[in-house]
Amino acid sequence: MLDLTTSNVMERTALRVNPCKTCQPVGAMYAALGVANCMPHSHGSQGCCSYHRTVLSRHFKEPAVASSSSFTEGASVFGGRSNINTAVKNVFDMYDPDIIAVHTTCLSETIGDDLTSYIMDMDLPEGKTVVHCNTPSYVGSHINGFFNMMMGFMNYLTKKTGTPNGKAAIFPGWVNPGDIRELKRIATLMGVPYVMFPDQSGVLDAPMTGKYEYFTGGGTTLPEIASLGDTEQLIALGEITSGEPAELLQKKWKVPHTLLPMPVGIAYTDAYVMALQKFSKKEVPEELEEQRGQLVDLLLDSHPYTHGKKAAIFGDPDVVIGLTSLCLELGIVPKYVITGTPKDEFTRRVNALLEKYNVEGCTVKANADLFELHQWIKNEPVELLIGSTYGKQIAKAEDIPFIRAGFPVLDRYAGPLMPVVGYAGAIRMVEKICDALMDRQDRDAADEDLEIVM
Ligand code: SF4
């Protein structure tokens, strides 16, 4: 399909071909789905909302509930106030959520709809809440939408009573529900009482019960979000996704934060465990020590198959930084590391990581696209490709072993249930990486060289 991609790289600034990101409201919708009894609401046309729901549903293989202001030509000209008033009334009447989380779209941003005043003027039913954030999709990416929605909730709902609640806040960043379960498991093992925000576990990985419910009971509750101002410490994971929300909590309610990389691989998981340990002052339990030891053993055993292999890694900034760190721990040489999210901080952090491992000759770029990555690969090939489903045509065209990781993975099942983070997640990723490399070795081996024991 992409066999005809040329190797002649041309500098582009405006045009993106095969983008490595999606639009802001997708992130806002995903963040809102991590809040209990919350209806994400798209203030724009139905087409935007359908697209955002589709992307999420295809990745999680679960319905992503959301409502829309259903703009038509009239709203585009006269503004969307009447649309959102009708929508909010209908959503509370028909679906009965506790809260509606409104995000804007390109259209409502372009016409300048003032959501703050619209919401202020609403006559809401007793005990119901509406919050909003701005998500103009012509800047940033779904990652910006995700943290903008987090900050929307925090701006409307957080409080400080003056009595610390003895808990740590944990911002997981953009991860799958399986990752959130693993982060919670580690925090519980470390004896840390916490508020996880947002929390899509139990929502987008909810079990089949035979009965469809709009709200599954999972997600961060509204009192938990309100209590963020009373938490004693914030552990914010994913420097690029959670950095701005962490700053907001510090500025608003003076909650000190520790900003860490997404805990992928040994070093970054250690940092998460140590931050929890600093909070609880408890010893690291045997269960975690043992799992870490298994991972070290696995890295040593698999080293002959991974050492020196060249890889291209792409996707969302924090998961890419984490996977780059894991690859370096495996002795894999990152050759191209890109994200579609336009954040210069990404290149700074990846370059610092590469410097630590004395890796040279790696191309690192934010605001990049997959067409560009493909052209680089045509000029200097790699032996492994790691990223979202959108890399599969490149993998096919160039015959490269391909590991699906990050968002979105549209063509495989069970990924959202499984962790990438923590020692357990690293063990899983090492297995995937080794399987891909060793399958390729087997495929290409002459009959007399095909090993049974490796
Ligand atoms: S119009 Fe904007 S908000 Fe709507 S789907 Fe397109 S990029 Fe996203």
Report the separation in Å between the CA atom of 44 and the middle of ligand 1, taken as the mean of its atom positions: 9
Q: How confident is residue 414, by pLDDT bands cut at 50, 70 and 90?
A: very high
Q: Which residue among 137, 138, 139, 144 has the greatest number of ligand 1 atoms within 8 angstroms of its CB, and so is best to mutate?
A: 137
Report the separation in Å between the CA atom of 111 and the middle of ligand 1, taken as the mean of its atom positions: 14
pLDDT at 31: 98
Query: Atom 8 in ligand 1: which residue has the minimum CA distance?
Result: 23
- Host H or E run for residue 374: helix 370-379
29, 59 Cβ separation under 8 angstroms: no
Question: Domain spans of the chain?
Answer: 24-139, 168-285, 287-448
State the fold for domain 24-139: Rossmann fold (3.40.50)
* Structure-token match 């959670």, residue found: 242
Report the separation in Å between the CA atom of 285 and the middle of ligand 1, taken as the mean of its atom positions: 47
- In this predicted structure, the answer to whether residue 234 has a pLDDT above a threshold of 90 is yes
Query: Atom 2 in ligand 1: which residue has the minimum CA distance?
Result: 106
Report the separation in Å between the CA atom of 105 and the middle of ligand 1, taken as the mean of its atom positions: 6
d(CA 425, CA 135): 31
Q: How confident is residue 372, by pLDDT bands cut at 50, 70 and 90?
A: very high
Report the separation in Å between the CA atom of 123 and the middle of ligand 1, taken as the mean of its atom positions: 29
Residue (of 303, 98, 331, 309) closest to 214 by Cα position: 98
Pick the atom of ligand 1 nearest to 52's CA.
5
pLDDT at 376: 98
Q: How confident is residue 13, by pLDDT bands cut at 50, 70 and 90?
A: confident
Superfamily of chain region 168-285: Nitrogenase molybdenum iron protein domain (3.40.50.1980)
Intrachain domains 168-285 and 287-448 with the same fold: yes
Mean pLDDT, all residues of the chain: 97
Dump pLDDT digits (tens) for 45-102: 999 999 999 999 999 999 999 999 999 999 989 999 999 999 999 999 999 999 999 9
Q: Which CATH number fits domain 287-448: 3.30.70.1230, 3.40.50.1980, 3.90.1150.10, 1.10.340.30?
A: 3.40.50.1980
For range 328-345, the mean pLDDT: 97
Report the separation in Å between the CA atom of 78 and the middle of ligand 1, taken as the mean of its atom positions: 20
- In this predicted structure, the answer to whether residue 285 has a pLDDT above a threshold of 80 is yes
Pocket of ligand 1 (CB under 6 A): 23, 25, 44, 48, 51, 105-106, 137
Query: Atom 3 in ligand 1: which residue has the minimum CA distance?
Result: 105
SS3 state of residue 216: coil
pLDDT at 30: 98
Report the separation in Å between the CA atom of 55 and the middle of ligand 1, taken as the mean of its atom positions: 12
pLDDT at 11: 83
- In this predicted structure, the answer to whether residue 1 has a pLDDT above a threshold of 80 is no
Which strand ranges, in their side-by-side order, compose the sheet holding 99-104?
Answer: 67-68, 38-43, 99-104, 129-133
- DSSP at 46: H
Q: How confident is residue 160, by pLDDT bands cut at 50, 70 and 90?
A: very high
d(CA 149, CA 23): 13
pLDDT at 26: 98
d(CA 17, CA 39): 33
pLDDT at 454: 84
Q: Please give the radius of gyration of the chain, using alpha carbons only, rounded to the nearest integer.
A: 22
98, 37 Cβ separation under 8 angstroms: yes
d(CA 364, CA 366): 7
Residue (of 380, 381, 402, 384) closest to 393 by Cα position: 402
CB atoms closer than 10 angstroms to residue 441:
15
pLDDT at 10: 87
Q: Which residue among 48, 110, 111 has the greatest number of ligand 1 atoms within 8 angstroms of its CB, and so is best to mutate?
A: 48
Share above pLDDT 70 across residues of the chain, in percent, rounded to a whole number: 100
For range 276-303, the mean pLDDT: 98
